[in-house]
Amino acid sequence: MLQQIEGILFQEKPDAVLVYGDTNSTLAGALAAVKIQIPVIHVEAGLRSYNKEIPEEINRIMTDHVSTLLFCSSPNGILNLQSEGITKGVFDCGDLMKDALILLQHRLQDSVKEKYIFATFHRPYNIDRIERLTQILDILNNLSVKVIFPLHPRTRKAINSNNLKLSDYKNIRFINPVGYIDSLRFQKYSDCVITDSGGIQKEAYWLKRKCITIRSETEWIETLKGSWNELIFDHLPFIGSALRNTPIESEYQTSLYGEGDASGQVSKTIFTFLKSLKK
């Protein structure tokens, strides 16, 4: 990616490079740009899980430290950057994912006429060891509510390579991976969301759905307030009791991660920055 992106940058000669989030392509784009002195703009900056065993944590730290403009989803992101000595070009703009969800709310019609839990898992620490994978599946299979489980390619590969039979899990409805809108729809009408995803934690919160996150930490720490999101990792059997913990309505923050106008704030700031480069 570094080699190919650098070639495109030399050819196109952009005034700046915008990268989003914490994927490998985020870091590749940022490094390719900064090596040839093109300003980097990082949207979703300042997130920290403080677990460097997760590749995304390394990606976001390195990207933040070479960026010229840094757009954070919350004030906590700004504090994280300040603790690392990054104070210039930092903005709290809210989260673009909230903008997208608000735009698409009208398309989220219910199509499942039964109570269910929506589950997604794909991270190596949850699926690469057969003992943990089967424990998660067994717990989901023994819940009192039906589970709808779209299989990430990595998860399906782990299941197949360990010769697990999907038909043995009668309470779990395994389905193919779903697109963005279907994922939101399944979350909105579920009784609860169980996941190891980062973005789904936010989406579940905005849709006012209880979330149980199968991770030892989260970068989206604000969602933990009021038990709207709960972390479970070492003690997987606690999933059942966590399902019975009702989120505290009075602790819910309607404006968490912005008011749905992050895209406007980001674009306005970027255009102002680009104009300053022309002077």
Residue-wise pLDDT for 195-211, tens only, equals: 999 999 999 999 999 99
What's the pLDDT score for residue 98? 97
pLDDT band at 278 (very low <50, low <70, confident <90, very high): confident
CATH class of 2-95+259-278: alpha beta
Q: Are 2-95+259-278 and 104-251 equal in CATH topology?
A: yes
Dump pLDDT digits (tens) for 60-110. 999 999 999 999 999 999 999 999 999 999 999 999 999 999 999 999 988
Q: Among 267, 198, 275, which residue's Cα sits nearest to residue 41? A: 267
pLDDT band at 112 (very low <50, low <70, confident <90, very high): confident
Which residues are part of the catalytic machinery?
A: 122
Alpha carbon distance 3, 81 (integer Å): 29
3-state SS assignment for residue 42: strand
The CATH T-level fold of domain 104-251 is Rossmann fold (3.40.50)
What's the pLDDT score for residue 62? 98
Token representation of residue 48: 């920290």
First vs last Cα of the chain: how many Å apart?
32
Domain boundaries, the chain: 2-95+259-278, 104-251
What's the pLDDT score for residue 64? 98
The DSSP secondary-structure symbol of 238 reads: G
Contact 143, 171 (CB under 8 A): yes
- Percent of the chain scored above 90 by pLDDT? 95
- Whole-angstrom CA distances from 219 to 54, 73, 74, 112, 124 are 11, 11, 11, 31, 18
Dump pLDDT digits (tens) for 212-227. 999 999 999 999 999 9
CB contact set of 128 (below 8 Å; sequence gap of 6+): 158
Whether 111 has a pLDDT exceeding 90, the answer reads no
Whether 113 has a pLDDT exceeding 90, the answer reads no
Tell me what the mean pLDDT of segment 104-128 comes to: 92
What's the pLDDT score for residue 78? 97
